[in-house]
């Protein structure tokens, strides 16, 4: 059965059971504590928590998911993936265990036609209700029925003992038994065994309890069902595949890799599986608005691309190749997830740029290791694990490549214990620094705000046209707890029924200002932000008087600051449209900062923006400002807005109703921020910086209005000071500097020429001092002030002019020692090893090094001993050749 049929049969089956087919959500979850959407129920968290009402009490989905927890296992096991699809059916206070179990059994055995004897069942050992349904109503044989503890059959795992607090419940898992031939051979083998005999194909979670501190469980007022069935796993069963990778979800990608590499899948299973898996995950992350970076989801994406690229390079693909796989992924999954088709060109561009950057990073990693050769030896003959980890983590240098470099430098390999320690330390730092703890249900300050405003009109932003407004205090929060009153000097979080203060959101900073009451209370509002996607919360200091819940306040936004913000925000829209006009329609906003001081605009583009292009963008923006175009806003349903040409920002999530900002005849964007009423109010815009922020991502910083004027005046003042120093007119500064720079370069060339002449002289002296030992020319010289590269230049002369030779060259630069040893092949055949020699004499200069038998180099801390080291090296050579 094809995977498309499996997915459709599943969803149709539950539609017939009264479920609403719900679309998949983005891989980027709304929950800020989660790195990615890792389960089918993630998008339904507000329904499970009772925060929102679901569109129907029965839902079914095919949810795209991504997990990175077992990244290193991908390809090595039959069933681990990063990107996968989770089929699911959900009940919110509707049906419960009996329906969930009987429908799952019906779908698997009657619709999918799986043999009943091949299915095994597990339940939580205390769940007698589920056990009774399976044994008495379904009639599952006792020898295929198992009771496990909370580590295997509870969700979240071990929740009663370990938490977290929140909704939880026992689960029942359905396994497919491939038979003893796939197993470990143990007669005790059961579904809890880690061998390949059993594969879990469905997990039915019975969410019936609320966990509290101390592990206390209380029944939920409404019992819920959350089930998950991995499409890839079900496909492997129904298609008779040995692993998930041999299904029609992966094999077209793998076959494309066979064509590209000329290697058969059977001969390269692990690398082909990793590449096929990772290109799916990377493609869908980019489609959902994630870009390669060094933190969070961007770092995960970067790791997927680089792991795939590394396996590609080891398979003979020495070019960017992942983009060639995206059309195959689109063919497989595009009918269900059209974004992967619509954005395939853009996804391919991002992948190619990241692969190119990775290739450069690998070279930088090589140089990092080589340049740290003096610190590389750990004393055990192995390369220092922490240095290798830095090259691996910072530059993406594959561990196999690092191993080769270590051996080239005369070491016996890598200290993997030190490497692993450094990796664990980095992971711990990441965990401590991340707000994403991976827990689906967490208790935090937002719950305090939710409870404080539940059932009340609260936190409604009403400040598009007003910056002064009378409001009523709905909630006061002090030190994370709700309070009825606040006194002078206390710092509080404040929620009013309505507010003119814009809460930080969508890249626009929040408003600041003050609030006063008729009784003399005055609050200084220092920050405004949004919780639960809509409720505005103010952070404030009670400067005078006291504040009580229910008090009336006059809220006053800082007018000058708001005016600067709106200028910058509308300027951002103009900039976006101008960039697309000049650079192309592939440009998408990828992030922004809109504040009173400046605007920052991150966008997708595959190359640096030229000065001419940047000037044209700025010209277009300022032309639209001078044209005094009307800026209008309107609330519409999202489909109507899109039909009118409104741009939805890449990766952004929108509700059914959206606010559209229309800059007359030039730009239409979906945006909830504050804007000017006419472009003329912006004044003018000055772009002050354009640069790369990694991969195919660029960043522009610009100033509008008063900030732009201040910037121009600052530049003019600097120009006047430069002209005064040069004692010339302002207009002559550029050409005068050109003349001075040209003279400086001429002098530098003269100095370099003199240096080359000196090097040539020193090279000649070294060659003239050759000592013949039989037919071998021995060169031993320690000229002053030469770098390693300059010593290599002398060696090149020796090599060109002598057939049989041995050389030991050294020099001191700023107290540091440089050494080179070299021998011709015939001398090496007589037992003289340049690598061993340089290691020996490097000890005299308090250093170390290595290389090959023919050529090696070293560095040291004590340049004063360089002559002694060279003499010692010459003595060793004489001893070997005599």
Q: What is the pTM of this model?
A: 0.66
Whole-number pLDDT of residue 260 = 95
Say which range, 37-46, 441-450, 483-492, has the weakest mean pLDDT: 441-450
Beta strands in 156-289 (DSSP E): 166-177, 198-211, 217-230
Q: How far apart are CA 825 and CA 582, in angstroms?
A: 60
The H-assigned helical ranges of 516-587 are: 559-583
Of 409, 413, 365, nearest in space to 385 by CA: 413
Residues 6+ apart with CB under 8 A from 615: none
Q: In which element (H, E) is residue 516 found?
A: strand 513-516
CA distance readout (Å), 20 to 204, 314, 537: 19, 47, 35
Long-range contacts of 792-795 (CB under 8 A, 24+ apart): 792/820, 793/759, 793/763, 794/759, 794/762, 794/763, 794/766, 795/820, 795/822, 795/855
Whole-number pLDDT of residue 754 = 60
Q: Where does residue 214 fall: left (phi above 0), alpha (psi -120 to 50 degrees), or beta otherwise?
A: left
Please report, rounded to a whole number, the percentage of residues in the chain having pLDDT higher than 90.
58
Of 449, 444, 466, 471, nearest in space to 511 by CA: 466
- Helices 326-333 and 251-261 cross at an angle (nearest 10°) of 160
Q: How far apart are CA 349 and CA 347, in angstroms?
A: 5
CA distance readout (Å), 769 to 20, 374, 762, 782, 807: 91, 30, 11, 11, 11
Q: How far apart are CA 780 and CA 874, in angstroms?
A: 6
Q: In which element (H, E) is residue 329 found?
A: helix 326-333
Dihedral sign for Cα atoms in the order 707, 708, 709, 711: positive
Q: In which element (H, E) is residue 745 found?
A: helix 733-768
Asked if pLDDT for residue 556 goes beyond 90, the answer is: yes
Whole-number pLDDT of residue 443 = 46
Q: In which element (H, E) is residue 813 found?
A: strand 805-813
pLDDT digits (tens, 9 = 90+) for 269-319: 999 999 999 999 999 999 988 888 877 888 899 889 989 998 998 899 989
Whole-number pLDDT of residue 283 = 96
Whole-number pLDDT of residue 755 = 53
Q: How far apart are CA 734 and CA 752, in angstroms?
A: 27
Q: Which of residues 375 and 115 earns the better pLDDT score?
A: 115
| SS3 call for 276 | helix
Cβ atoms within 10 Å, residue 603:
24
Q: How far, rounded to the nearest angstrom, does the alpha carbon of residue 329 sit from its chain's CA centroid?
A: 21
Whole-number pLDDT of residue 46 = 82
The H-assigned helical ranges of 82-136 are: 97-106, 128-132
CA distance readout (Å), 195 to 81, 245, 341: 17, 17, 38
Residues 6+ apart with CB under 8 A from 744: none
Is the distance from CB of 417 to CB of 385 less than 8 angstroms? Answer: yes
Q: How far, rounded to the nearest angstrom, does the alpha carbon of residue 412 sit from its chain's CA centroid?
A: 34
The H-assigned helical ranges of 584-705 are: 611-626, 638-643
pLDDT digits (tens, 9 = 90+) for 206-243: 999 988 888 899 998 889 999 999 999 999 999 999 89
- Tokens 């149709």: give the residue: 12
Q: Which of residues 544 and 759 earns the better pLDDT score?
A: 544
Q: Bridge partners of 695?
A: none
């Amino acid at each position: 059965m094809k995977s498309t049929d499996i997915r459709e049969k599943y969803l149709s089956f539950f539609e017939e059971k009264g479920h609403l087919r719900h679309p998949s959500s983005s891989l980027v979850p709304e929950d800020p504590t989660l790195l990615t959407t890792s389960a089918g129920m993630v998008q339904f968290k507000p329904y499970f928590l009772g925060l929102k009402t679901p569109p129907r009490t029965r839902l079914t989905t095919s949810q795209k998911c991504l997990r990175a927890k077992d990244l290193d296992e991908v390809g090595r096991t039959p069933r681990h993936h990063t990107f996968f699809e989770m089929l699911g059916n959900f009940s919110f206070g509707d049906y419960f265990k009996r329906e969930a179990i009987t429908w799952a059994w019906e779908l698997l055995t009657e619709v999918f036609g799986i043999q009943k004897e091949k299915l095994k069942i597990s339940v939580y050992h205390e769940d007698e209700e589920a056990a009774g349904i399976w044994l008495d109503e379904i009639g599952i044989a006792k020898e295929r029925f198992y009771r496990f503890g909370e580590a295997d059959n509870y969700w979240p795992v071990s929740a009663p003992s370990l938490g977290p607090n929140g909704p939880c419940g026992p689960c029942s898992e359905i396994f497919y038994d491939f038979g003893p031939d796939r197993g470990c051979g143990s007669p005790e083998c059961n579904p809890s065994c880690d061998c390949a005999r059993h594969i879990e194909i469905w997990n039915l979670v019975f969410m019936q309890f609320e966990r509290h501190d101390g592990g206390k469980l209380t029944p939920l007022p409404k019992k819920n069902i959350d089930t998950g069935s991995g499409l890839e796993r079900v496909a492997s069963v129904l298609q008779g595949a040995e692993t998930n990778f041999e299904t029609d979800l992966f094999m077209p990608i793998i076959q494309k890799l066979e064509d590209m590499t000329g290697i058969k899948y059977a001969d390269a299973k692990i690398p082909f599986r990793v590449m096929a898996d990772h290109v799916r995950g990377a493609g869908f992350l980019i489609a959902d608005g994630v870009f390669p970076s060094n933190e969070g989801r961007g770092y995960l994406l970067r790791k997927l691309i680089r792991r795939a690229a590394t396996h590609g390079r080891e398979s003979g693909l020495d070019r960017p190749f992942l983009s060639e796989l995206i059309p195959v992924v689109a063919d497989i999954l595009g009918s269900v997830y059209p974004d992967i088709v619509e954005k395939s060109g853009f996804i391919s561009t991002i992948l190619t740029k990241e692969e190119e950057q990775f290739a450069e990073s690998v070279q930088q990693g090589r140089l990092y290791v080589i340049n740290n050769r003096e610190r590389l030896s750990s004393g055990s003959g192995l390369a220092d694990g922490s240095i290798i980890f830095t090259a691996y983590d910072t530059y993406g240098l594959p561990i196999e490549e690092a191993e080769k470099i270590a051996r080239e430098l005369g070491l016996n390999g890598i200290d993997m214990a030190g490497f692993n320690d450094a990796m664990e330390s980095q992971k711990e730092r990441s965990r401590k620094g991340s707000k994403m703890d991976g827990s689906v249900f967490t208790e935090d300050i937002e719950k305090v705000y939710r409870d404080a405003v539940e059932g009340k009109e609260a936190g409604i932003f009403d400040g598009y046209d007003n910056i002064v407004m009378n409001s009523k205090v709905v909630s006061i929060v002090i030190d994370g707890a709700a309070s009825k009153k606040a006194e002078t000097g206390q710092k509080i979080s404040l929620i009013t029924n309505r507010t003119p203060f814009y809460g930080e959101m969508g890249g626009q900073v929040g408003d600041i200002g003050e609030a006063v009451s008729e009784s003399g209370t005055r609050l200084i509002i220092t920050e405004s932000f949004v919780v639960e996607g809509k409720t505005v919360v103010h952070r404030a200091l009670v400067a005078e008087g006291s504040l009580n819940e229910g008090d009336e306040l006059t809220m006053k936004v800082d007018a000058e600051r708001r005016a600067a913000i709106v200028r910058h925000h509308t300027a951002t829209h103009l900039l976006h449209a101008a960039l697309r006009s000049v650079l192309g329609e592939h440009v998408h906003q990828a992030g922004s900062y809109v504040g009173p001081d400046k605007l920052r605009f991150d966008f997708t583009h595959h190359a640096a923006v030229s000065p001419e292009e940047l000037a044209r963008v700025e010209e277009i923006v300022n032309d639209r400002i001078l044209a005094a175009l009307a800026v209008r806003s309107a609330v519409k349903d999202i489909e109507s807005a899109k039909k009118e040409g409104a741009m939805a920002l890449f990766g952004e999530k929108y509700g059914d109703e959206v606010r559209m900002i229309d800059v007359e005849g030039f730009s239409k964007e979906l945006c909830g921020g504050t804007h000017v009423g006419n472009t003329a109010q912006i004044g003018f815009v000055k772009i002050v910086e354009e640069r790369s922020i990694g991969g195919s991502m660029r960043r522009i910083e610009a100033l509008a209005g008063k900030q732009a004027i201040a910037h121009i005046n600052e530049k003019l003042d600097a120009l006047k000071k430069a002209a005064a120093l040069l004692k010339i007119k302002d207009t002559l500064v550029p050409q005068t500097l050109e003349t001075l720079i040209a003279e400086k370069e001429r002098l530098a060339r003269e100095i370099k020429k003199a240096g080359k002449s000196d090097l040539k002289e020193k090279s000649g002296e070294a060659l003239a001092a050759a000592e013949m030992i039989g037919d071998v020319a021995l060169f031993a010289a320690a000229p002053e002030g030469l770098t390693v590269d300059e010593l290599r230049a002398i060696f090149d002369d020796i090599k060109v002019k002598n057939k049989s030779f041995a050389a030991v060259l050294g020099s001191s630069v700023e107290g540091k020692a440089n050494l080179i040893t070299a021998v011709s092949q015939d001398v090496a055949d007589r037992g003289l090893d340049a690598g061993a020699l340089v290691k020996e004499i490097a000890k005299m200069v308090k250093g170390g090094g290595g290389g090959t038998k023919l050529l090696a180099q070293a560095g040291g801390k004590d340049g004063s001993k360089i002559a002694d080291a060279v003499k010692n090296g010459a003595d060793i050579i004489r001893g070997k050749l005599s």
